[in-house]
């Protein structure tokens, strides 16, 4: 069954172009032009990926993103933002609210398809191949098959990108993973010029798994190189 992509934008021309390229790539598309309709559709249809414009006529893309991430049944939905904003603060702001990726307008439709494919690889990577099912470090436990993370037995809601980053770090405890390695692992392609995206995702991850995100005990920063999961937790 074709994977379903929900496109949320109030510009019919943008909808038409994105749908055309995604359908040509073999995906099924769902479309809506407003925030309220987007929330209704994502609850009804549970799309595999959501492409979300920030500037919508009723509820903004920011509000839609926050509502989805606050709903335990929808929180793991992979979301890529479409935005005409080019300031780093706006991009980082979207990532801090839980977006997995973003594309600035005007965009190349082939890039949209590539980003969607990368998000799908991240969201479903646990189904690819065999390997260790459960990773653990101290009170932190990651179950790949169930796509579940717990701290001292309590479930933690992570976005697909946060889960992928944590999996990479927990799979190599004590080993330093460079920023480039983590970017490739998390995003599935070169992410030139926006290394701050990685730092934002790591910061969000720490807020969810660390007893004190300002004094991390699990995810350590190796300045000038990358990150590692502290060994011996």
pLDDT per position as a tens digit, 133-184: 889 998 999 998 788 999 999 999 998 888 989 998 998 888 888 887 787 7
Q: How far apart are CA 80 and CA 92, in angstroms?
A: 13
Residue 49 phi/psi, 5-degree rounding, is: -145, 150
Report residue 85's pLDDT band, with 50, 70 and 90 as the boundaries: low
Residue scoring higher pLDDT (161 or 187): 161
Report residue 89's pLDDT band, with 50, 70 and 90 as the boundaries: low
End-to-end CA distance of the chain, in Å? 42
- Contact residues for 128 (Cβ-Cβ < 8 A; gap 6+): none
Asked whether the predicted pLDDT for residue 233 surpasses 70, the reply is no
Question: Sign (positive/negative) of CA torsion 168, 169, 171, 177?
Answer: positive
- The H-assigned helical ranges of 71-178 are 88-96, 109-123, 160-170
Q: Residue 77: name the closest of 52, 112, 96 by CA.
A: 52
Report residue 126's pLDDT band, with 50, 70 and 90 as the boundaries: very low
């Amino acid at each position: 069954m074709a994977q379903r992509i929900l496109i949320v934008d109030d510009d019919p021309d943008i909808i038409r172009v994105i749908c055309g390229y995604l359908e040509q790539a073999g995906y099924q598309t769902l479309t809506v032009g407003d925030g309220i309709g987007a929330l209704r559709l994502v609850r009804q249809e549970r799309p595999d990926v959501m492409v979300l414009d920030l500037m919508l006529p009723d509820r903004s893309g920011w509000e839609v993103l926050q509502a989805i991430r606050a709903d335990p049944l929808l929180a793991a939905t992979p979301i890529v933002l479409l935005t005409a904003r080019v300031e780093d603060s706006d991009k980082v702001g979207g990532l801090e609210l839980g977006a997995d990726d973003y594309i600035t307008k005007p965009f190349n439709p082939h890039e949209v398809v590539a980003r969607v494919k990368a998000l799908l690889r991240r969201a479903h990577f646990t189904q690819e191949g065999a390997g260790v099912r459960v990773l653990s470090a101290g009170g932190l436990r990651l179950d790949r098959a169930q796509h579940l993370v717990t701290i001292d037995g309590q479930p933690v809601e992570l976005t697909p990108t946060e889960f992928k980053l944590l999996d990479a770090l927990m799979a190599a405890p004590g080993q330093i993973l460079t920023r480039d390695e983590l970017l490739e692992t998390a995003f599935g392609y070169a992410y030139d010029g926006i290394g701050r995206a990685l730092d934002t995702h790591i910061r969000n991850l720490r807020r969810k798994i660390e007893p004190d995100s300002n004094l991390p005990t699990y995810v350590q920063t190796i300045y000038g190189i990358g990150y590692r999961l502290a060994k011996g937790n």
